[in-house]
Structure 1
Amino acid sequence: MHDRTGEFGRAGSWPVQAGPKGAHGVPEEAVPEADVLRYFRRLRAIETIEDLPVPEGAESPGAHCGLFEAALTAPLIRGSRTLLIGPAACLHHAGSLHQSGSRGLAAAPSGLLFLCMEPDDAVFGIDSKIVEAVLEADRRFQPDALFLVSTCVPEMAGTDLDALAAELAPRVRARLLVVRTDGFSARHQQQGLRRVLASLVGLMGPVPPEPRSVNVLGLRAEGARHTELVRALEDAGVRVLSTVPAATTVEALARCPSAALNVVVEDYALDLAREMEARFGVPYVEVGFPLAPDRVDEAYAQLEDALGVALRPLVAVAREAAGQAMARSRAAAQGRRAAVAAFAGGPLGAARFLAELGAEPAVVLASRFSRQDARERVVLLASGHDPLVGRTQGTGQMVPLLRSLGVDLYAGHGDRYALARLGIGQVHPDPPRARWGYEATRWAAEMVGAAMGGKPR
């Protein structure tokens, strides 16, 4: 356990920059100690996620488990099915509410299939049941690809999915893609997401190159083909072959190695980009998911250099609209205290964006930091912002801290009822992620303005 002395003052007290006097009933001069504080550090005291203490105890399934992201992402690939293999509790939390007590193979409208393990399977193994399930899924649903997603229990029981997939490959129509989520070795959900995307290289092979073409890796929104980025690229004469993982098919993925460039907009797609470069020679450029207007401009400039096309003139109107939205939201956000959890732009990128709106980032929850976050850390500290930073925790665990800090705005997933009881406005992370570029900037600014508009100071 880390010693708080010297970081938060003497044990039993904690100096902070207090919000407006009386905010949420908290006096300016002191903030009561909350148990959760021992897991937080000031931004200036950390550089990587490893510098943060790990909360005692474990949630199961918890925020670390990659199963959830795998279950949400794999079904986005049209023409595929996803077989989740694990105990009923895990599958229940992955979206199989009506199937959690079932036995054998069960289908859901989402394209998920569930193979629930019996208690004895953890001892005697589940290989024969997996073989049965794969053969049945292939026969009944005839998918072009079948993801085999394992959880902790079959992995700890010694299940070798790679060997089973190799054995089954000649007997099924579907291409079999193995994804291990092994939550016991992960500290954030993105391990599952990264591995789903990395597995997609199993659908690819050598194909003739296509000049002036790209894949955009890391777009998960349903309208990925209509984002500002894709429209700008196509208006500039660049063909977008595929947006991965959203709005793509098994057939389209097979053609991805013909692209002249992979554009990586979320770092969970880096493993796939690197594997495609190693196997097929497709270079990649990582532009990230920026929110601050200057970062969006940098991303477009990076793409212009890589592709030899002019993109910024094509998005000038969107840039102006984003600037206007930010100006309107500043009146509502100025001086507000904000908490940032999972949000577009990364935890520190989102904190920096809120700071540009005039809010004070008081606390940041993170499960990981990207290269983009590392850059924003420097900007935040240079501009005088030094929020508390801790590992991702549930809203219920955070209530004492949010109350103590006098937080007005919560950017990220969270219990909206608990937040409402505290009088905290919530900005949900998904709408901005359905966009990229200045469109995302505009939407994020408008949502902050809407969440804060009319709230007493």
Structure 2
Amino acid sequence: MNQIVELSKIRSNKGVKFTHAAATPGTHCPMHTALSVLLRLDGISSLVVGTSECSYYSKFVTMRSKGSLHYTYVLDEKEVVYGCREGVIDAIAEMDREGAAVILVLLTCVPALIGEDLEGIKYEVKERINANLLMIDVAHYKRNGYDDGFVYTMGQLAELSEVDEETDHDTIVSELTVLGNTKSTEINRLLTYITALGINVNYIESQRHVQDIAKTLTGSSVFLVLNAHYQQLVENLSEKKTISMYSLYNVYTSKEIFAVCEQMLIDFKIPVPEWLLSSYKNLLNAENKHINDKSKGAFAFGLLPVESFSLANYFAYLGHTVSFIHAERINASDEKSRKSLLENGQNPSIGFITNHSEFEKYIKSHQNLSVVEILSHHLDYTTINWTDALEEMAFDRSLKLIQVLESQRELDFEEK
């Protein structure tokens, strides 16, 4: 673990280092995850621009797609040196002639290295095609992992919000659009309450066709964000029009959660229900009790389905020590948690875990260091089950996290 860096020394994404020199087994590149998003969407085609290796591996994803065109443009020796602008423009035009309504162009490492101009290509070809053209840079060398493949692809959907702006009768007018999974019991209860009081709610993840999504985004001005992968989407939408955004994916304290829910309900002119107040008070009491208990632990945060910095910051708020955080990058949304950790005297090591066997040795070499991770069943990190808690949202999630911490503390006490 000689590649890790203290949080206070990191100023940009380039400051996040691999924990070990050798990546085992390595990670997917963002091209792979960008294409995986398209598998659940209808009406959107793709053009991967890169080497023969990019073409080969992209087919493992797109071969499962139905009803859309998924092409690859393989650079020849001359284009690797002098650029591929003309060839890519011709390929886009050909896809347009074959009926592609929306085309997502993915520029991989080589086009990015030689400096191909995404916006220039888009500007030059737009008069020649009828298709809506989206472009993302998914060069793997610019980033540690693959998360940007999700983020950038979802973010580009904001470009489609202009498609049906002139046809108001086709536009879905929605008071609230939910971005993210709604399996959480508490989120479902909140949305059911809102719907019962006459608020129309749309769920992006229940829509498959990009034209339906475009209409929803066009008619929506209020968004509830439950997943970090949609953060770029709402930011892009905010550049087009005035929107209201309420984020619950990265808040954990009782006061933060209640503030978000209360403000959303106030804006809709809906009273705060008694059960929501009760959930707030229950979590607040549990937090105060846990904070006042002097028995605290040290934690390393591994691979998680949530934003690690905001979760780690919550553990610090509860009085625990944050020793290590696995991070692919530091987002703008992480900055608040980053500052809070440092202001509270927490300066954890930051790194991108590339070798899980070596990471296991690191954990075992630090006495009483527990791991917060949902993939730890592959190795002997810990017996703590965090999955059930992290699958929840809002008050339920934080309360279950405290309950897991309390259970672990009791087990540690019994062992001693």
- Could you tell me the TM-score, scaled by structure 2's length? 0.70
Residues 352-361 or 296-305, more deviating? 352-361
What number of residue pairs does the alignment pair up? 399
Retained in 2: the 8 A contact 1:201–1:275? yes
After TM superposition, give the deviation of residue 340 of structure 1 in Å. 0.9
- The within-5 A match list for 1:47-446 is 48-49=11-12, 52=15, 54-55=17-18, 65-87=29-51, 89=53, 99=60, 107-109=63-65, 113=70, 115=72, 117=74, 120=77, 122=80, 125=84, 128=87, 135=94, 145-156=102-113, 163=121, 167=125, 175-186=132-143, 189-205=146-162, 206=165, 213-217=175-179, 219=180, 221=181, 227=188, 230-243=191-204, 247=207, 249-250=209-210, 251-266=212-227, 269-286=230-247, 288-311=249-272, 313=274, 315-316=276-277, 335-343=296-304, 346-355=307-316, 360-370=321-331, 373-377=334-338, 380=341, 386-394=346-354, 395-406=356-367, 408-412=369-373, 414=375, 416-417=377-378, 419-420=379-380, 422-423=381-382, 425=384, 427-428=386-387, 435-442=392-399, 444=401
SS of corresponding position for 1:237? coil
Rounded Cα–Cα distance in structure 1 between residues aligned with 2:51 and 2:358: 26
Counterpart AA for 2:370: L
Letter in 1 for 2:217: C
Partner of 1:35: 2
Partner letter of residue 389 of structure 1?
S
Q: Distance in 2 between matches of 1:328 and 1:171?
A: 63
User: How far 1:310 sits from its partner (Å)?
Assistant: 2.9
Residues 345-379 of structure 1: CA deviation (Å, up to 9, x unaligned):
53232123345667543222233445664444565
Give the partner amino acid of 1:436: M
Q: Structure 1 residues 86 and 279, CA, compared in 2 at 3 Å: closer, same or farther?
A: same
**Structure 2, unpaired ranges of 5+:** none
Closer/same/farther in 2, CA of residues 375 and 298 from structure 1, 3 Å limit: farther
Are the equivalent residues in 2 in contact too, given 1:148–1:178 (CA < 8 A)? yes
* Matched AA of 1:398: F
**Could you tell me which amino acid in structure 2 is paired with residue 347 of structure 1?**
S
Residue identity opposite 1:196 in structure 2: T
Q: Which amino acid aligns with 1:437?
A: A
Per-residue CA deviation, residues 62-121 of structure 1 (Å, 9 max, x unaligned), is: 669533442343444344344544446557777x5xx49xxxxx6225889463747747
User: SS in structure 1 opposite 2:365?
Assistant: helix
**Contact 2:39–2:64 (CA<8 Å) still a contact in 1?**
no
Whole-angstrom distance in 2 between the partners of 1:87 and 1:443: 47
Distance 1:49 1:202, change over 3 A: closer
The structural deviation recorded for 1:194 is: 3.4
- Aligned-residue Cα RMSD (Å) equals 5.0
The amino acid that maps onto 2:175 is S
Mark the CA change 1:133 to 1:177 in structure 2 (over 3 Å): closer, same or farther: closer
Q: Which runs of 5+ in 1 are unaligned?
A: 1-33, 101-105
Separation in structure 1 between the aligned mates of residue 405 and residue 54 of structure 2, nearest angstrom: 34
Could you tell me how far apart the structure 1 residues matched to 2:410 and 2:375 are?
20
Q: TM-score, with normalisation over the residues of structure 1?
A: 0.65
